[in-house]
Every structure is written in C-alpha cells, then in structure tokens.
Amino acid sequence: MRDFLPEDVRRREHVIVVIKRVYERYGFEPLETPAVENLETLLGKYGDEGNQLIYKILKRGEGEASGEADLALRYDLTVPLARVVAHHHAKLPRLFKRYQIQPVWRADRPARGRFREFYQCDVDALGSTSPVIEAELCAAVADAMVELGFAEFSIRLNHRQLLTSMLNASGITETLHGAALVALDKEDKIGVDGVRQELAQRGVLPESARSLFAAIGALRDRAPVSGLDETGVAALANLDAIETMAKGTQAEARLRRDPSLARGLSYYTGAIMEVNVADLAGSLGGGGRYDNLVGMFSGQQIPACGFSLGLERILVVMSERGMFPASLATTPADVMVAVFDAAGLPHAMRVAGQMREAGLRVLVYPDADKIGKQIKYADGRGIPFVALLGADEIAKGDVTVKNLAAQSQQTHSQSAAGAAILEALKNRG
Amino acid sequence: MRDFLPEDVRRREHVIVVIKRVYERYGFEPLETPAVENLETLLGKYGDEGNQLIYKILKRGEGEASGEADLALRYDLTVPLARVVAHHHAKLPRLFKRYQIQPVWRADRPARGRFREFYQCDVDALGSTSPVIEAELCAAVADAMVELGFAEFSIRLNHRQLLTSMLNASGITETLHGAALVALDKEDKIGVDGVRQELAQRGVLPESARSLFAAIGALRDRAPVSGLDETGVAALANLDAIETMAKGTQAEARLRRDPSLARGLSYYTGAIMEVNVADLAGSLGGGGRYDNLVGMFSGQQIPACGFSLGLERILVVMSERGMFPASLATTPADVMVAVFDAAGLPHAMRVAGQMREAGLRVLVYPDADKIGKQIKYADGRGIPFVALLGADEIAKGDVTVKNLAAQSQQTHSQSAAGAAILEALKNRG
C-alpha cells in the first residue's frame, strides 16, 4: 500500500473528477459505503481464491484473544452495493443509478499497476433489464475514456448466456462450465493453443473444444451458429439490442463483439463488457449484468448491471503516455510572501490575506531566513512569484513582486499586488 | 459504520470542497495515506485507551490461524503524517504544508456525531517553529468555518508548556501532570467543581488545586501569574506572538485564550487550539504543536503543528441548523427522457446524447412503461423536466419538453431542446 504525495493526489483527483462529471451527466448519483463490512457479507461472493484475499479484522475487546475475525475490508464495490440496495430498499428509487469511487483491499501479490489498496470507479444501474442500461454504461465509460484523453480503445462485449449455450452445444457438461470459462478468459495471455491445452487438462474432450472454437469463430464472423438453444438465441438478440441502443453514442464505434470474452467473476448473468486500450495487455475495467446478486441479500430479485474502471491502471497508462493536462497544478502556491526580518512577519500575514482575498494561493514563508534562502525555496517548489516585504515597502504600504521565471520585479501598492499577480498568471497561460 | 446515500454524499462533498479550497489558498497541498498501517506504527502513540480502540487486521495466509494481527486501520491522520515525513524525507520540501481529508477508524461506542468510521480534515505544517504557522492554521480554519456558514465560533488557545509550568508552580509532581491535564480538559463537561473533585481523587493536594485555579484565573484576567518558570514565560510570549501574527486575519476576532484548555493527546509540545461553536457542547476540531512526533519515527526532530476538523460533527451541526446552500444538487438529473414504446428507445438515447453535449445531466428512462408511470418517477425524484418522444415527435425530429413544476410543455426541435432546458433552468435560479 502506498502513500500519495501531493503530485500523485492531484493526478488521482484529476481522473476522479473527469469520471464523476461524466457519470453525473448520465444521471448516476454518488454512493459511499464503509471500508469495513461484516465478514459474512463478503465470504462466498468472490470464489475460493477471493475468500483467501480478504483482509479480516480481529474481534475487539474480550473477543480479541480468541483470534477470531468478525469484520473485513471491502473487497469490491459491487457486493456492498447489493447489500445497500437490499438493506435500504424502501429509501431508494425503483430505478437506482449510482456511481461509487472508493478504495478496496485485496491481500494479493502486488505487481505493475496492481496494489493491495486500490480504487475502483464503479457505475451501476439497478431496477431494469432494458438494454438501454448496458448501452448507457458503455456510452458513459466511453465518454469518460475520451475525456481522459484516450483515443484508441475498445469495449469488448459478450454474453454469459451465449457462452453457456455454446458450451452446452459443444457437449461440455455443466460441471465443467466454470473451468471452461476460466480457461477461455485467458486467451489474451496464453493464446488459443494455451486455452486448448487448459481445456483438455480440465477434462474437456477434444471434440468439444473443437466444436466450441468453431462456434466462437462463427460468431466472430457473424455467421450462423448451429445448436444454440433458446437462451443462446435470446442472448444474441440482447447483444443486438445493446448495439442498437448504443448507436450515436461514443460507445458505438468502440463496441466489439468478442465471443471468447468470459470475465472472471461468477455473479454475471447477462451481457459482459471489458475496456481495453491499444498496446496494453489486460483491461482498464469491465463489467456486466448480475441479476441475482441483490437477491442473495434480500431474497427479492432486483436486476442490476454495472461497469468498473480501475483507477490505478488508468493512472499508470496516463503517466506513461504523458496524458495529464499541463494545466494540472503542480505548485503549492501562486505566490510566496518573504520578509527581511522577523518584524516583517505580521505584515506578511496581512499582505497574504489581501492576496488570498484576490483569489490567489499564497504561502507565507514563516521564518526570517536569509532572503536568498527564501527565494531558493520558492524556486525549488515551482512557485512563480515572490512578494518581498522590506522595511521600505512596509513603510510605504508597498510590496515588491518578483517574477522568478522572467527574473523581473515590480513594486505595487499592497492592495493592488494581488490583482497584478493574477493578471500576470493569466498571461503566462 | 454507515452507508452514505446520494444526498449524504453531496453534503459531505460540499463541506470537503469548501475546506480544501481554503486550505489550498494557504499553500497547503494534498496528501493521502493508506487506510492500513503496520500495527506497530500505531501502538503506543495514543495512550492505553487509544491502543484498545485500534482495529487490528489478522495476518494473511499461513499466519491467519495464529490469530495474530500485524496490520491495523488508521486511527488518526497525524501519526501517518509523521511516518510519511520520516520515510519520504528526502522527497519532501524543508517546509511541508499538507492537508489530508480521509477516514479514520476507532472501535469506540458510537454516539451522536461520533462514529466508528469518520473523516478527519487535517491541515499541518512541518519544518518551522515560527508562530506564523499557528496563526495561519487558525486563520485557515476560521476562513473555512466562515465559508461553511458558521457565524459564531471561537478558537480557544492555550499552551502545553504554560500548563506544565502552572502545574509545577502549584506544586503538582510531574507524575501527576498527565492525570491533572485529563481532569482539566473536562471542565466543559463536569464544571470547575467536578474538576476539583477529580484532581483530589487523582491525588492532587487541595492547596495545589487551589493554587492551580488561582493561576488559571489570573491568566484569564490577563493578570501576572506568580511562580511561572522560564518555559512558562516563554510559552506566554509565544501565545502573544501567535495573536500578533493573526491580526487582520479571520482568526483575530475568534481567538480566545483559555488557560484551562488541555487537549487529550499526549504528543503536543506547544500551543494547543480548539474550535467551538455557540450552543454546542464539545468541539468541531482542534490541534496544536507536536515537535517530537516525527522524531519517534526517524530520530530526526522536525517541528510540526496541525489542526484537525471533524467532518461528521460539522455535518451534524450544519444539518440541524439548515446551513446547506439551496443550490446543492438534490436531483439525479436535470431532465428525464421518456418514450411511448420500445421503438422509441434508440431515439431517446440519441436525444439524451445531444442534451448531454449541451451540458445537461440526463436520465433516460430505460423501459417503455406507461407514460404516467414514467412521469411519476421523474416527479418523485425531483427531476424538473421530462423530454417526451412520441411517434409524432420522432417523425418530425422534435421533442416535447414538460416542465413538471409549471405543468407546462413546449415542443422544440431535438437539436435545440438542450439549450432551451438550460435556459429554463437558469431562469428558475
């Protein structure tokens, strides 16, 4: 887990602000949940591997000595959302569109762009099975990507029920479906031959695998696939409907059917999506429809669909590709006030106050160090202006403003200096 | 621990945005640290009671069965700051001014405005012993309070070394200083007589208590205090200097010397502050100078001083007193697009896209429910406009915009509807 120094925080906030603005434009509202959930809320929702990666919290007080855990750190934002919807059902609208940008924790081995504490930017809609939902999620994610500066990316689209139908049509028994999906999901990493090997290892007959790959190939070519059952046909129609709804949105040109896309999580029940950028292995995020998860908490089935972007992966790519705007503040202040001796400090405070009222970010150098040392501090921190208060300036109610980059200086009345610096900042762009 | 539904999040964000803006105006920069710290980083920093309130995290993997904890949830933002400054010392400026607004966790008994997960809004400056630091912290906090809408509040000011000097002058042995400070700190809650009783219970002689109260009384009247040692006299001079530096700032009129203010935490070494609002028991925040804490991590002494505002208490008071601006968004969208049948949905998506480009927050009703049901949904959610797309409108490239409050409607071309709604929203104020 990492500390975020000021520059890191500013970059993170830039991305979060863009994503929030886009999500709100689509009518999604903010939700926040506690970092800590009851352990039993989380157990059994993420598969065996997931259970192992949950950070568990010791009972407090008397119970502490027992070594037992009753609480746990949030593992994703989807299960807490399902709990919230089940729990606060009466207070929430029938159609509930929420976004949530908060950290989650997994006791995983850290790797490039993968951390034990990381932020997810989730956006979900509950209460409707309409393909409008999937289309809007894809459109919102595509808008966010474009506004972050990503030019080339795609949103891969598939359907869990289409996968199930293909697996059935290929003669793969239901007990092997989970294993087959896990293998398929690795095509990115291990290639088609790798998937074929893994399917064989997991007990899928060669002729079934052949038939599965034939079906995937046919779907890729948009050719008819033989043997799909009713559910599979309906799934294909659902994908068509999603694409129709996405017409005219930023998602239209990005959507790409990928019949081998499987997604790891077990709770998906319908369309699944994943967003990829050019020249980057792995995805920046993904999502899908999960119509049964809320029911696990309340017994009441509430259809749901969502998309999650990974903040850390987005930041890694944006940093590597120099995608942050030059306007992103990188200095602690617009101007630093410096004095020649301690008697000047109360005056520095007053002048700083005036400049803040004018709209500037002002740092008062707090000690009467040698003036060269003070200016060096401002320069080292990238603060563009230094306001100097010598005995002369103080006596006259003036202040001398030094432009460090231009190596020029000008004396103003204290009341006018703020406006002058603001003007100079604007002209610098 | 609580879930924050959209209205809660918006109110929380409003307060956070105001506080951040003010802190940045003073040259403070954002810092974020992980929720999870090594357990040993936290142990021994908050006193015995604090140790008990720390949420401890079980070791993962093989170690889990041992029932041992090696990590813990952040308990405050000051100890993590000291760790960061000790750890990242080479990367940080000599004078480091940071703010940090993040949750902390304490396994405490919840009460009104007190929760197990709560946000602290901390602002600290490291690297200077100048009274400018204390004055700027008080000025920034006062600015934030005023911008949040607080009219009547005070910032109580005292000094740990003045307290120590008074305790010594009153003949209270050093081993009783901690207990005496804890007792003094309760004057708000238990009154002077209560403090007197508690001092007696803790072993302070009646004549010492009498002498202590006399000294406090004299300080309150700004009369000379007998028996103060050099440190005490220097502490008084430091308080004078802080008040001088605060002249002309928003803090000037709010600062109030309170010689009985003690503050609970043990790490304070100099000035201590607390902010109180009229008609509210307890404080909204507090802080002080702690010149030795960073040294506990790095061995290198770095002077430091900070102020922490409690987000939850601020929110409770602002809610009770109706202090949130009317302009705070309370609706999920500016306009909802509704259709008469499923064939209209792709058109709804397109019109919504145009309106979003115009700058509106737009919710597409995703199902072709009865139009009355759709409008009822918009009305129930406070969405002021509904854009209706019937067969007629679609054929002509139009859209009918219904103003729910005015119960009026008007037909526009689809490309002009966004601007018309924006205009109408502006006129509503």
Asked if the Cβ–Cβ distance from B58 to A56 is below 8 Å, we say yes
Supply the mean pLDDT for chain B: 94
What ipTM goes with this model? 0.93
- What is the CB neighbour count within 10 angstroms for residue A124? 25
Sequence-ordered list of residues with C-beta below 8 angstroms from that of B215, at least 6 positions apart, any chain: B166, B169, B170, B225, B226, B227, B228, B259
Give yes or no for B55 touching A (CB within 8 A).
yes
If phi over 0 gives left and psi between -120 and 50 gives alpha, with beta otherwise, what is residue A16? alpha
Summarize pLDDT for A109-148 with one digit per residue, the tens: 877 777 999 999 999 999 999 999 999 999 999 999 999 9
Record the tokens describing residue A24, joined without a space.
């709100």
Sequence-ordered list of residues with C-beta below 8 angstroms from that of B427, at least 6 positions apart, any chain: none
Residues of chain A contacting B17 with CB distance shorter than 8 Å? none
Q: What gap in Å lies between CA B344 and CA B374, rounded to an integer?
A: 14
Summarize pLDDT for A402-419 with one digit per residue, the tens: 999 999 999 999 999 999
Sequence-ordered list of residues with C-beta below 8 angstroms from that of A103, at least 6 positions apart, any chain: A35, A74, A117, A118, A119, A120, B35
Q: What gap in Å lies between CA A357 and CA B413, rounded to an integer?
A: 45
Nearest CA in chain B to A20: B361
Which helix (H) or strand (E) covers residue B140, if one does? helix B131-148
Q: What is the 8-class DSSP label of residue A111?
A: B
Exposed / middle / buried, residue B61 (Cβ in 10 Å: 0-12, 13-18, 19+): exposed
- Cross-sheet strand order for the sheet of A271-277: A29-30, A96-105, A117-126, A304-310, A285-289, A271-277, A153-159, A255-257
pLDDT of residue A344: 96
Summarize pLDDT for A173-199 with one digit per residue, the tens: 999 998 899 899 888 788 889 999 999
Measured on CA atoms in the order A167, A172, A177, A182, is the torsion positive or negative? negative
**Chain centroid offset of residue A69 CA:** 29
Q: What gap in Å lies between CA A28 and CA A99, rounded to an integer?
A: 6
* Closest CA–CA distance from residue B22 to any residue of chain A (Å): 9
CATH of region A6-35+74-320: 3.30.930.10
Give yes or no for B366 touching A (CB within 8 A).
yes
Summarize pLDDT for B350-397 with one digit per residue, the tens: 999 999 999 999 999 999 999 999 999 999 999 999 999 999 999 999
Contact criterion met (CB below 8 Å) for B327 and B156: no
Asked if the Cβ–Cβ distance from A350 to B132 is below 8 Å, we say no
- What is the CB neighbour count within 10 angstroms for residue A168? 17
- What is the CB neighbour count within 10 angstroms for residue B66? 10
Nearest to B95 among A5, A125, A377 (CB): A377
Inform me whether the pLDDT recorded for A92 exceeds 80.
Answer: yes
Q: What gap in Å lies between CA A241 and CA A245, rounded to an integer?
A: 6
* Closest CA–CA distance from residue A124 to any residue of chain B (Å): 13
pTM (two decimals): 0.94
Asked if the Cβ–Cβ distance from B247 to A349 is below 8 Å, we say yes
Nearest to A34 among B1, B13, B377 (CB): B1
Inform me whether the pLDDT recorded for B112 exceeds 80.
Answer: no
* Residue of B14, B25, B100 for testing the chain A interface, max A β-carbons within 10 Å: B25
In terms of Cα–Cα distance, which of A93, A99, A95 is closest to A304? A95
pLDDT of residue A374: 98
Nearest to A95 among B56, B87, B377 (CB): B377
Give yes or no for A105 touching B (CB within 8 A).
yes
- Cross-sheet strand order for the sheet of B56-58: A36-38, A69-73, A56-58, B56-58, B69-73, B36-38
In terms of Cα–Cα distance, which of B60, B57, B55 is closest to A52? B60
Q: What gap in Å lies between CA A402 and CA A257, rounded to an integer?
A: 59
Q: What gap in Å lies between CA A400 and CA A416, rounded to an integer?
A: 11
Nearest to A332 among B29, B64, B94 (CB): B29
pLDDT of residue B108: 87
Q: Return the minimum-mean-pLDDT range out of B188-197, B226-235, B244-253.
A: B188-197
Q: What gap in Å lies between CA B181 and CA A150, rounded to an integer?
A: 58
* Model confidence band, residue B247 (pLDDT cutoffs 50, 70, 90): very high
Inform me whether the pLDDT recorded for B11 exceeds 70.
Answer: yes
Question: How far lies B111's CA from each of A33, A411, B15, B116, in Å?
Answer: 19, 56, 21, 9
Inform me whether the pLDDT recorded for B183 exceeds 70.
Answer: yes
Q: What gap in Å lies between CA B156 and CA B283, rounded to an integer?
A: 10
Q: Alpha helices, DSSP H only, in A176-272? A: 177-184, 187-201, 206-220, 230-245
Q: What gap in Å lies between CA A237 and CA A165, rounded to an integer?
A: 13
* Model confidence band, residue A429 (pLDDT cutoffs 50, 70, 90): low
Contact criterion met (CB below 8 Å) for A37 and A74: yes
Tell the residue number behind the tokens 């990238």, with chain if given. A382
Task: List the 389-428 stretch of A: residues with Cβ below 8 A of B.
Answer: none
Inform me whether the pLDDT recorded for B264 exceeds 80.
Answer: no
- CATH fold of A335-428, please? Rossmann fold (3.40.50)
Asked if the Cβ–Cβ distance from A36 to B66 is below 8 Å, we say no
Domain ranges across chain A: 6-35+74-320, 335-428
Q: Return the minimum-mean-pLDDT range out of A123-137, B36-50, B91-105, B398-412.
A: B36-50
Pairing of strands A335-339, A362-364: parallel
Summarize pLDDT for A228-284 with one digit per residue, the tens: 999 999 999 999 999 999 999 999 999 999 999 998 777 899 999 999 998 888 899
Give yes or no for A68 touching B (CB within 8 A).
yes
Contact criterion met (CB below 8 Å) for A393 and A343: no
pLDDT of residue B282: 84
* Model confidence band, residue B429 (pLDDT cutoffs 50, 70, 90): low
- Mean pLDDT on B255-277: 92
Give yes or no for B377 touching A (CB within 8 A).
yes
Record the tokens describing residue A239, joined without a space.
């994908």
* Residue of A87, A363, A415 for testing the chain B interface, max B β-carbons within 10 Å: A363
Give yes or no for B109 touching A (CB within 8 A).
no
pLDDT of residue B214: 93
SS3 content of chain B, % helix, strand, coil (to 5): 45, 20, 35
Sequence-ordered list of residues with C-beta below 8 angstroms from that of A313, at least 6 positions apart, any chain: A113, A282, A283, A284, A285
Give yes or no for B376 touching A (CB within 8 A).
no
| Terminal Cα-to-Cα distance of chain A (whole angstroms) | 37
Summarize pLDDT for A28-83 with one digit per residue, the tens: 999 999 999 999 999 988 878 888 999 999 998 877 888 899 999 999 999 999 99
Supply the mean pLDDT for chain A: 94
